[in-house]
Amino acid sequence: MTSRLNPYISFRDNARDAITFYESVFGGELNISTFGDYQASQDPAEADKVMHGMLVSPNGLTLMAADTPNGMEYNPGNNISVSLSGEASDEAELRGYWDKLADGGTVTMPLESAPWGDTFGMCVDKFGIAWLVNIAGEQQAQ
């Protein structure tokens, strides 16, 4: 098994909505476990909260999410950014992700040519998560 690095996003109480939205963006297999599935919370009101959600897309992207129990501190918005990057041959796929993530959110830097030769953009999706998209520019022959 290879190691993998992937984002794990905490939400207060809308992880199910968020991870389901991301499934509509990236496709793939989504598995969700609730606190109630494992009697992991003493508070019956938290039984339906997501204890662990994992989305694995067909092209290898992995995203995890969970709701934060009421007794734990939650600081939304400024604690995570997610970076999507690929080669010029991935441009259509990455632009498709960009369009869906930006829809209903806020574009903080348009997806356009960057000074370093790539196409780059930043947005905050409708759930308050910051996304960076980078499409590598065509490589010059040396």
The count of domains in the chain is: 2
- Domain assignment present for residue 140? The answer is no
Question: Is residue 97 assigned to a domain?
Answer: yes
Residue-wise burial string across 14-48, b where 16 or more C-beta atoms lie within 10 A, e elsewhere:
bbbebbebbbebbebebebebbeeeeebeeeebee
Does residue 142 carry a pLDDT above 60?
no
Question: Residue 42 belongs to a domain with what CATH number?
Answer: 3.10.180.10
Instruction: Give per-residue pLDDT as tens, 90-106.
Output: 999 999 999 999 999 99
Question: Are 140 and 118 spatial neighbours (Cβ–Cβ below 8 Å)?
Answer: no
Average pLDDT over residues 19-31: 97
Give residue 25's domain range.
Answer: 8-67
Say what the pLDDT of residue 38 is: 82
